[in-house]
Structure 1
Amino acid sequence: MFGLFKKKTEAEKLQELYKKTLEKAHKLSHTNRTEADKLMAEAEEIAKKIEKIQ
């Protein structure tokens, strides 16, 4: 109950975005490899931002 109004930190938001981007890339890898590669590159950039924060 007390965590209901807790705001997410920037790192938590980036972790969630990273996870969603990887999932999209995995789904696209079966049909459109070039788009999947672009999403993987985007996910790597997000990972670098997470590393800078931590």
Structure 2
Amino acid sequence: MFNLFKKKSEVEKLQDSYKKLMEEGFKLQSINRSDSDQKYFEADAILKKIEKIQAK
């Protein structure tokens, strides 16, 4: 309940967008392979940003 007004950190925002891109990539896998690969590529870039932030 108290987390209702808590703002998300940058890592949490990136993790949410990573998860969203991975889900979109999975859904596109059977429809359009090139679009799916693009979503996975974008998700990989976000994952690298997350790892870079956590390494600090």
TM category (shorter chain) comes to over 0.9
Unaligned regions of 5+ residues in structure 1, if any? Answer: none
Report the residue type matching 2:46 in the other structure.
I
- Aligned residue pair count: 54
Question: Aligned partners of 1:2 and 1:39: how far apart in 2?
Answer: 34
| Aligned CA-pair RMSD | 0.6
The 3-state SS of whatever aligns with 1:3 is: helix
Deviations 1:5-35 (A, max 9, x none): 1000000000000000000000000010000
Report the residue type matching 1:9 in the other structure.
S
Matched, 1:49 2:10: no
Over the matched positions of the two proteins, sequence identity in percent amounts to 57
Structure 1 segments of 4+ aligned residues over 2 angstroms from their partners: none
State the TM-score, normalized to the length of structure 1: 0.96
